[in-house]
Amino acid sequence: MFLAFVLNYVPEKWILGLLGLIPIYLGIKVAIYDDCEGEKRAKKELNEKGLSKLVGTVAIVTIASCGADNIGLFVPYFVTLSVTNLLLTLFVFLILIFFLVFTAQKLANIPGIGEIVEKFSRWIMAIIYIALGLFIIIENDTIQTILGFIF
């Protein structure tokens, strides 16, 4: 969050749009390579300790997923927000973490759903990362500015 606040003072908005290349790279990386290490660690912890409480699950998933790839994913988005919108986004983000994990846990218990989601999770993540990167680039007029420099 501090990095996003500092980057908010970059003079040209289109330069911030270049940060959208990070989630695009991560999306391509997820599509090419299988399971990330954070997910493997989280699954191992859940299996070893047998955590069934929602709070424990949320804590482990959140801690395991706070790697450099997620920093690279969220900073480009956070940097485009004002301080007020950043705080509001973080508040909503924290609430939705609990909601999404609870919902995912309930859906995974439905026969067949868990297997389908597990099978396609890599592709779903890749699409979301790439879409977020494109959104950041387009929202900051990066493509138009670069094309303006060229032509």
What is the rounded distance in angstroms from the CA atom of residue 71 to the CA atom of residue 4? 10
Is residue 13 a contact partner of residue 137, using CB atoms and an 8 Å limit? no
- Range of 9-23, 65-79, 94-108 with top mean pLDDT: 94-108
> Which pLDDT band holds residue 39 (cuts at 50, 70, 90)?
low
| Residue with more model confidence, 142 or 61 | 142
Query: Tens of pLDDT along 119-137?
Result: 888 888 899 889 988 988 8
Give Dmax over CA atoms of the chain in angstroms.
60
- pTM, two decimals, is 0.57
Q: Answer for the pair 17, 11: CB distance below 8 angstroms, yes or no.
A: no
